[in-house]
Amino acid sequence: MRVVLGVGGGIAAYKAAELVRVLQQRGCMVEVVMTSAAQQFVQPLTFAALTGRKVITGLWSSNSPEDTLSSAVEHIRVAQDHDTLVVAPATADLLAKFAHGLADDFLSTLYLAFTGRIVLAPAMNTNMWNHPATRQNIEILRSRGHVIVEPADGLLACGTTGPGRLAEPDDIADAVMKVRRDLEGEIVIVTAGPTQEPLDPVRYISNRSSGKMGYAIAEAAAVRGAKVILISGPVNLAPPAGVTLVRVKTACEMREAVMRNLAQSSIVVKAAAVADYHLSAVPDQKVKKTATRFSLELDPTPDILAEVGKKKTDQLLIGFAAETQNLIEEARRKLKTKNCDMVVANLVNREDIGFESDDNEVVLVTRTGDPVHLARAPKREIADQIFDHALLQRLS
């Protein structure tokens, strides 16, 4: 990620130096822009030493006319060279300028020219933070899709206690990493939820899948810039913003939707709990209850994952394995027999993870390297970690 960090003039400006270090540790290239007020608190040299780059301190160069001309368009160069603008600390003054489009210094000019993601970490006195003008400015900025990293509660430099302290550098870096766009240009197929296999016009076979895991994966991919085709069995979830939703009911319908979109896709994630058996010939009329024992003869459904494994060209194929025992062995078997690049092994006999729960805990099994255990976390976080590892897998 290429981050431009705007440092505003507040006592918390010194924490921006730590933020540079944390962002660099997470693999970001960082360039720093300081307002003139920020330079009253911290010397540009601190940031120059940390980044190894010249720090931008103003709109105008004091050197030759050529320098002045090039610095006059430098905000455009900086806007084009970076994908994320982070402002920390974002003072009340900067928030007001951004909200209302004032552009009278480098940072506010850069803000208007910037088309990438924007993360703002405000810091100020509690009364200033709570003032209706600041609240309105925050709402305006949020409505533009900017991420606001809320200030923390605590003792402030002015001696008062309350919200207004700059969030910790780790928390700001977490928010920055969440807005990464490393799936831009990818077309991701995600399957989610259960399938329903009809037995007659009123009955069906299905399973406990809520769709939460698959929808979390679809959301993570969309937020990271992918075009997402979410092929979903029947669930009670709203589709994540920006994804193309294809609703299906049966395994055969899911297979048809996956195959129709396979050629254009670059990543396929099969999180759906597809029924393994169905009734090939479904009666037209409701089956009547009788006093005698009733048995069903079922046929296997198409194994969509195995078929994708056979037909795929250069797609990254991520399957799931829902198991109640021998988790890793079963995942390895599925990885091999279904020609996957990664299998997400999921224990499904615990109440706190797997089916229906908001959290999950999984093991990533790949062709190379040891299995990677992802500790219990919200499914949305697990989704991000699956992509982090899948992208590394593609590079290896």
Binding site for ligand PMT (CB under 6 A): 191, 193, 209-214, 251, 270-274, 276, 301, 303-305, 319-322, 334, 346, 348, 354-356
> In angstroms, what is the minimal distance from the CB of 112 to ligand PMT?
42
Tokens of 374: 């992802």
> In angstroms, what is the minimal distance from the CB of 301 to ligand PMT?
4
> In angstroms, what is the minimal distance from the CB of 376 to ligand PMT?
13
What length does the chain have?
396
Q: Looking at beta carbons only, is 39 or 261 nearer to ligand PMT?
A: 261
**What is the rounded distance in angstroms from the CA atom of residue 56 to the CA atom of residue 368?**
44
> In angstroms, what is the minimal distance from the CB of 390 to ligand PMT?
14
- Decide if 250 contacts 198 (C-beta within 8 A): yes
Among 270, 144, 143, residue whose Cα is nearest residue 218: 270
The active-site residue out of 28, 158, 252, 340 is 158
Q: Looking at beta carbons only, is 253 or 276 nearer to ligand PMT?
A: 276
Q: Looking at beta carbons only, is 183 or 322 nearer to ligand PMT?
A: 322
> In angstroms, what is the minimal distance from the CB of 235 to ligand PMT?
7
Number of C-alpha atoms within 13 angstroms, CB side, residue 103?
11
Among 166, 151, 171, 177, residue whose Cα is nearest residue 15: 166
Q: Looking at beta carbons only, is 118 or 390 nearer to ligand PMT?
A: 390
- β-pairing, 161-165 with 152-155? antiparallel
Respond yes or no: is residue 158 known to be catalytic. Answer: yes
- Decide if 176 contacts 28 (C-beta within 8 A): yes
| Dihedral (Cα; 149, 29, 25, 13), 10-degree rounding | -50
Alpha carbon separation from 324 to 90, 236, 277, 346, 372 (Å, rounded) = 49, 25, 19, 8, 18
**What is the rounded distance in angstroms from the CA atom of residue 294 to the CA atom of residue 290?**
8
Q: Looking at beta carbons only, is 5 or 382 nearer to ligand PMT?
A: 382
Residues taking part in catalysis: 158
